[in-house]
Chain A
Amino acid sequence: MLPPAFYYICLSKAYLLYTAIVAIRHLLNYILENMKILVCISIVPDTTMKIRIGGDKRSIDTVGIQWIINPWDELSLTRALELKESSSGAIKSVTVIHVGTASSEPALRKALAIGADDAIRVNAEPSDAYFTAAQVAEMVSKEKFDVVLCGIESSDFNGSAVGGMIAEFLDIPSVSAVSDIKSDAGTVILTREFDGGKEEVTVPAPFVAIVQKGIAKEPRIASMRGIMNARSKPVRVAEPIAIEPLTCIAMFEKPEARPGCRFIDAENAGLLIELLHDEAKVI
């Protein structure tokens, strides 16, 4: 016979282990059951459009320009919706946010038609990345999003800055150049790319993932039903917080004109190599 104290110790250890497991599962369930994803959306000229510089030289001539959701953001919205659909309810909502004026509502409506649950528009001109990121960060801390998705680059400003800035404003982790997001038993696994390789990492939520090529194959297109449903979905308009931008554009310039093409006869293609060697001196 062992002393009763022995059973007591064993039991209490088992009990401790049990409560720890319960607590962890509770936490995981919490993350799984209540996850809120925020997708940041930049609205840019259609990438096939010819860009003309405006009369004031400080802006782009917007006459005739078609506005679209920045390609990366369309892909990250697509991936967010895929994750939500396969999460059996664990992901509660996918919200899109845009900092911009009322003229961007049609593009936000499109995001709703594609499948976002709701949209937030911070009613301000997105003067620079610092200003824009501060506005998004404010909404993240107010509404407690768990995962924030941003594109790696907007095709207009080419800043590659807003995502990282949001994370620093909130003092939360960020992972950049993310080409895959998957969810595995309550953990979100991110694949990130670097020059010459890639790696899988995890970070605790809340976090910002800055996404690039690979994140989704094709952008999802709005279905007829999606378009109908979007009408009843809310676009909430928030007023901006006061933040001084750090940069401004003094003027735009067109790229330098190319010198024109010298054609070489296909039968005599070898001449090209001589020219590259002797004239252009690049080989």
Chain B
Amino acid sequence: MSVLVYTENWDGKFKKLSFELVSYATEVAKMLNTSVSAVSIGNVAWEELKKLGNYGASRIISIQSGHLATLDNQAYTSVIAEVSQKENATVLIFPNNNTGKAIAPRLSVKLKAGIGSGVSRLPLYTHPFTVYKRTYSGNAFAHLVINSDIRILTLAQNSFGITETPNNCVIENLSSAFDNSTGKTVLREGQKQSGKILLTDADIVVSGGRGMKSPDNWPALVELASFLGAATACTRPVSDEGWRPHEEHAGQTGKIIAPNLYIAVGISGATQHLAGISSSKCIVAINTDSNAPIFEAAQYGIVGDAMKVLPKLVAAVKEIKK
């Protein structure tokens, strides 16, 4: 028996997300009295793979095959299904990001394993296996019972955190076993953002809504973000208007994020916006209207004009960083 965790890499490096997943898997494995195996697909150096051991993985299965360079949902599913059988996994854990969403549901059918997606806590019980899952876009949480012998969980990012549990791990290179795993997905061209803090990775997010009035006012918000080392986000009308790029749109129909700190500037707090940000650990709102619903979700609030408040915040951050 084991808990198998899928650890995604970006250009050969693991991110916080993968370490959080291994930390989570380690706690799940404790509940089941078993150990964690991590599977990694892609060219990741031995020292990088070894890092997964710091968070409690005891076995690391590395598959470095040129055929799997492009994500092919079918091929990845077959590879992970085979690894899962080899590791005798009873729980499989994925990130609830686009990659997890691409693979986990297919695997669910292939292994006849019930899926609990977007879980934000450890399983509530192991008999019957019950997870705590977000539903109705954060307006209700379900106790979901998974009745199959194998279960698949996708973890909401930043909901569990990282815990170090150093473990002496064994790395097994299974590349040759999957030399023929060619997929049907043909890559035509790709684009990567570089140098920017990714919204989904950020610990701090500064976000603007229609109350910012004009794209010309954004530099004040971006300045605060850069002093805080934060990513920038926005509401849907702001990205629809083309004031900001659509990757920044947070909410039910945009990105779902859970940073430690979310600063909402000139945002009313519509339910569809809250659906994407309500899991943030601390929410701050700046709004001229003291009745704006965003204040119901906020821990700290300032009733005031964004363009007057932002420079004061920048000055205070500079003071603190001194």
- List residues of A whose CB falls within 8 A of some B CB: 45, 47-48, 50-51, 53, 60, 71-72, 128-130, 133, 152, 155-165, 167-169, 171, 173-177, 189, 192-204, 210, 213-214, 217, 245-255, 258-259, 261-266, 269-277, 280, 282-283
Contact = CB atoms under 8 A, between A and B. Distances in A.
B192 A261 contact: no
Given A45-B136, A252-B140, A266-B302, 14 more contacts: A48-B271, A168-B108, A173-B74, A196-B10, A201-B70, A204-B184, A213-B254, A248-B147, A250-B130, A250-B144, A252-B143, A258-B296, A264-B301, A270-B313
B142 A47 contact: no
7 contacts: A165-B106, A195-B200, A197-B192, A246-B113, A247-B115, A252-B140, A274-B320
Given A133-B109, A195-B200, A273-B317, A262 B299 contact: yes
Given A200-B189, A261-B285, A159 B117 contact: yes
A176 B98 contact: yes
A130 B109 contact: yes
B216 interface: no
Contacts of A282: 204, 260-261, 281-282
What secondary structure prevails in chain A residues at the interface with B? Answer: mixed
B98 A194 contact: yes
A214 to B, nearest CB: 6
A271 B312 CA distance: 10
Given A196-B198, A266-B303, A158 B118 contact: yes
A263 B115 contact: no
Nearest to B95: A195
Contacts of B285: 261
B97 to A, nearest CB: 6
Contacts of B92: none
Contacts of A273: 313, 316-317, 319-320
**Residue of A50, A60, A199 with highest tally of chain B CB at under 10 A:** A199
Contacts of A194: 71, 97-99
B141 interface: yes
Given A167-B73, A194-B98, A266-B302, A247 B140 contact: no
B140 A196 contact: no
A263 B113 contact: no
What secondary structure prevails in chain B residues at the interface with A? Answer: mixed
A161 B117 contact: yes
B297 interface: yes
A263 B299 CA distance: 9
Contact of A174 (B74, B110, B188): B74
Contacts of B146: 246-247
B223 to A, nearest CB: 14
A255 B136 CA distance: 11
B199 to A, nearest CB: 9
B135 interface: yes
Interface stretch (B28-36, B46-54, B158-166, B245-253): B245-253
B138 interface: yes
**Residue of B113, B130, B135 with highest tally of chain A CB at under 10 A:** B135
Contacts of B136: 45, 51, 60, 155-156, 158
B144 A199 contact: no
Contacts of A129: 105, 108, 115
A195 B97 contact: yes
B203 to A, nearest CB: 8
A202 to B, nearest CB: 5
B308 interface: yes
Nearest to B192: A197
Interface of B: 10, 70-74, 77, 96-99, 101-110, 112-118, 130, 133-148, 154, 183-193, 198, 200-201, 204, 228, 240, 246, 249, 252-254, 260-261, 270-272, 275, 278, 281-282, 284-285, 295-305, 308-309, 312-313, 315-317, 319-320
A210 B191 CA distance: 20
Nearest to B305: A266
Contact of A283 (B103, B228, B305): B228
Contacts of A202: 185-186, 188
A213 B255 CA distance: 9
A263 B188 contact: no
Contact of B106 (A45, A48, A72, A174): A174
B101 A176 contact: yes
A247 B303 contact: no
Contact of B139 (A175, A255, A274): A255
A213 B253 CA distance: 6
Nearest to B315: A270
A269 B117 contact: no
B300 A276 contact: yes
B234 to A, nearest CB: 13
Contacts of A162: 105
A199 B190 contact: yes
B141 A176 contact: no
Given A164-B101, A195-B201, A158 B135 contact: yes
Nearest to B75: A173
A130 B147 CA distance: 12
B299 A259 contact: yes
Given A158-B134, A269-B316, A177 B144 contact: no
A164 B188 contact: no
Contacts of A213: 246, 249, 253-254
